[in-house]
Structure 1
């Protein structure tokens, strides 16, 4: 499917991006989270690719890697390594940090406003120019950490719609600012079905998605669609939405079509509720890994496997979403 898509893309190719700039959270992070923070730097993360932890919140490649591959670019260097891997800056840069949101969350990593500050400073330092931005694709990934943090602070379901509005409004502000820095083609992710994440479905023994959470996600996505439609009407620039909700649900509801055997149960689980994927206590593993991660959609309680992301991006291609990046 990927090969066929490339052939069709070459026939229709009117524009080829030179770099990929990335903002967001763990769905896009390829190594910005510091090793001292653990998590994605612990085994068994990176089990499938490259065979060891690289800071990616998966057993292998994540969304950023697949988008870069589709654009025929190398996955951009993590911002944390910008002074070490300078030869890769020509492919763009990845500012995404695991655990972050558009607002501050429980993570100490920089939120999206600060991530955009980083790019602003690199432009001032002449590492990149506005022309670099205008000839590139900018990926903005928002996966729901603001909402997790809201609930962790005992935010009420009744006030949730108002908070969703504030998150979308801040996202809109961020998109406008990225445009002003020179970006002409921006891809922003819609929210995935949060009610289907293993941290939620564990209460049903990974059998059923939570419709209450998914309905709130639909509200987020509808507001984001309205906002992006308005921005596109007001500007000659182009903002596209990656419909992660539909792509995730298509795979979860028809998993066998995508060679996925376990749709809701994650591959890597703590041995009990007090442990997570990668937990170690007294040099003893407190997690279990499934036998076939390549046939599992979710890797841990929040993140897809490499196979899961591959299926998502294939679905996005059949929806003709990614093709628009070349116009």
Structure 2
């Protein structure tokens, strides 16, 4: 084992290797959720959050983007994306619904409109807005082509200053901040060292913490922050093993990120004496589905959960790729419902549904809707 893995094993003495049906998933120390009923929290509910929230505001990347990314930058606007829902490519990085849609369903609101299309919104703006851009992070991941989370919050703050939304709107809403690791992908592409990555992870958490503080300052009373999914189990990382084994080292690094994230969230809540922030534990949810090869209810089944439904036919080609003559350079499985992953990085609609099923109890505990 290399020095990086050893370092993380030392940090996470409670990590253990779970092996099931020929593939391996590293389970990091579980995220500990603290559900404190504080007077300040009740006051927040008294300001318009008594029953169910009226809006959902979203910041982040492709795990939450419902159509912001430019058509020139993402395959999410190309066939075969969107075949399950809405029936054509519409900017979602999946065959259908994603995390944002399922969270909106849980809250009882319609999925918020993508910010890039807000001029066409009209009454749809009552549901909130989605500022997430596929490929973005807390730092610039693709130069100035993608707005990072800080810039996404800038967009939102301008709408508040323009009186499109008010502080009261925030008090009666839920905010989702969803980041799936693009900062780390950009770091690796820039030939960042393993030792440097250990220093870079705290920088990512520190910047995310500043962003979260700013969202609260705008008036948010409930903010869901996603933990990192097991990056080492994404198809782009498991392809070398024939989609049989997760990358242990990457998952240990994810464990470090999630550990620091939990500390940051706990500190924010302690400083403000509220339970404003809570973690949506994608790591545990993904891991559970991959190990069980299905959802917790036993309804959805994924026989080869690490293998994507849509994949390039050779190296260098991705789902949705065409050659110079317009010929498809990818294949699609016969039934997306049988696959957990849609492409090299993103779940199918069925995959997200399985993850959402595992997250429901956490949402119920943290939001306490009544």
Partner of 2:115: 79
* Aligned-residue offset at 1:262: 2.3
- The aligned residue for residue 238 of structure 1 is 276
1:260 aligns with 2:308: no
For the residues of structure 2 that align with 1:179 and 1:91, how far apart are their CA atoms?
A: 19
Asked if residue 326 in structure 1 is aligned to residue 364 in structure 2, the reply is no
From 269, 288, 298, give the equivalent of 2:331: 288
Structure 2 distance, partners of 1:136, 1:124, is 18
1:302 aligns with 2:338: no
Aligned counterparts of 1:321 and 1:60: Cα–Cα separation in 2? 22
Kindly provide the CA deviation profile for residues 189-210 of structure 1, in whole angstroms up to 9, marking residues without a partner as x.
Answer: 0000000001111111110001
Partner of 1:208: 245
CA distance in structure 2 between the aligned counterparts of 1:129 and 1:101, rounded to whole angstroms: 26
Q: Is 1:15 aligned to 2:51, yes or no? A: yes
Identify the match of residue 96 of structure 1 among 119, 132, 136.
Answer: 132
Match of 1:7 in 2: none
Corresponding residue for residue 272 of structure 1: 314
- Unaligned ranges ≥5, structure 2: 1-48
Aligned residues: 314
1:141 paired with 2:178, answer yes
User: In structure 2, what is the Cα distance between the partners aligned to 1:182 and 1:87?
Assistant: 22
Decide which of 53, 68, 84 is 1:32's aligned counterpart: 68
**Structure of higher CA gyration radius:** 2
Q: Which runs of 5+ in 1 are unaligned?
A: 1-12
Q: Deviations over 1:167-226 (max 9, x none)?
A: 001010000000000001000000000000011111111100011000000000000000
The residue matched to 2:119 in structure 1 has which SS?
Answer: coil
Q: TM-score, normalised by structure 1?
A: 0.94
The TM-score normalised by the length of structure 2 is 0.83
Q: CA deviation at 1:106?
A: 2.0
- The one of 354, 357, 369 equivalent to 1:314 is 357
Give me the CA root mean square deviation.
1.3
Query: 1:97-246 alignment to 2 at 5 Å?
Result: 97-106=133-142, 108-235=145-272, 236-246=274-284
TM superposition shift of 1:157: 1.2
SS at match of 2:306: coil
* C-alpha distance in structure 1 between counterparts of 2:140 and 2:189, whole Å: 13
